[in-house]
Amino acid sequence: MTENWQLVLIAWGDKYPVAEINLIAQQVRAQAAIAPRVILLTDRARAGLDADIATTRFPEYWLRPEFCTGGCQAKLAMFEKGVLPEDLPALYIDLDTMVMGDMRAVIDALKTPQSVAILQSAVLPFGRFARWLKRTTKGKRYARGNSSVVAFHPAHCHYIAQEFRRLEGEVGVRNFKPLFADERFISWIAQDHMQAVSSRIAVKFPTEFMWPWRWLAFTLQALPWVAARRAGLRAVTFPGFEVKFAELLALQDGAEVVDRKGRRLIWSRRALGPLKDQIIAYWSKVAR
């Protein structure tokens, strides 16, 4: 069937090997009812890239060193006019995401052509109240999300990159909080069109599976409705995950890893359900 959506991947520097880029593209295409066009936004030619992955180069503006650190403002280049084709809706996925199902569902859930969907990451949800709060606080309070998964239509979202460039030039990144990180800025500038990616489709691993208390991790997985939702997940993303996957796969059953926020990963089926075996199968492919 004809492609009717596009998958966007982004890589700069040498953090992610080509094998991981190829793997996520292969997994998304293999599990989609209609395979997407795949585009890699990159800062360099990458030897060994699968032939069905098209590449587009970063505009130099977005490769400034301050945009390629923790704030990841360089990711906003995907909204720049001329970077992505404008004929199809797009789904961006971080390279540290494990894909297990048809991701076209995220795009299908977009409410309007102007909508932007990302993972919900704060207590305040996207919606009417958050939009009202942003207006009444003059932009100081607003709902925010995580940009490990972003669905949007390129033809309707060029203003995101344009407004970042304008504001960064006027006030500088460190003088205006929404400019501190790509996900902050997306949430702020597109607040009127923001929506959350369903937690039945995709979640952040640390938020969903890591807790300060062992009993809570076990209890949540034991709840039938939680276990059922988790079993249907199509993607789990690992933003800021502190453990390398080679180390994770080497853990003994029941081992614990504590991150800098005090959240515990318990490496067992009792805490993770079938996800443990899915992680082993998925990331073992990279090591082959």
Say if pTM beats, i.e. exceeds, 0.75: yes
Give the pLDDT confidence score for residue 115 in this predicted structure.
97
Q: Give bridge partners of residue 11 from the DSSP assignment.
A: 42
Q: Number of helices (H) and strands (E), helices first, in the chain?
A: 11, 12
The H or E element containing residue 203 is strand 202-204
pLDDT score recorded for residue 288: 60
The answer to whether 150 and 108 have CB atoms below 8 angstroms apart is no
How would DSSP label each residue in 33-59?
SSPPEEEEEESS--TT--TTEEEEEPP
Tell me: the pLDDT tens digits for 113-164?
999 999 988 789 999 999 999 999 999 999 999 999 999 999 999 999 999 9
Instruction: Label residue 1 by pLDDT band (50, 70, 90).
Output: low
Mean pLDDT over the full length of the chain: 93
- State residue 49 phi and psi, 5-degree precision: -65, 140
Summarize pLDDT for 75-85 with one digit per residue, the tens.
999 999 999 99
Higher-pLDDT residue of 249, 221: 221
- Structural domains of the chain sorted by starting position, each given as residue range(s) with its CATH number in brackets: 6-196 (3.90.550.10), 202-287 (no CATH)
Query: Which residue shows structure tokens 């318990």?
Result: 266
Joined together, the tokens standing for residue 9 give: 């991947």
Q: How confident is the model at residue 285 (pLDDT cuts 50, 70, 90)?
A: confident
In sequence order, what DSSP letters do the residues of 124-175 get, joined into one string?
SPSSHHHHHHHHHTTTSS---EEEEEEEE-GGG-HHHHHHHHHHHHHH-GGG
Specify the pLDDT at position 70. 87
Does 245 score more than 80 pLDDT? Answer: no
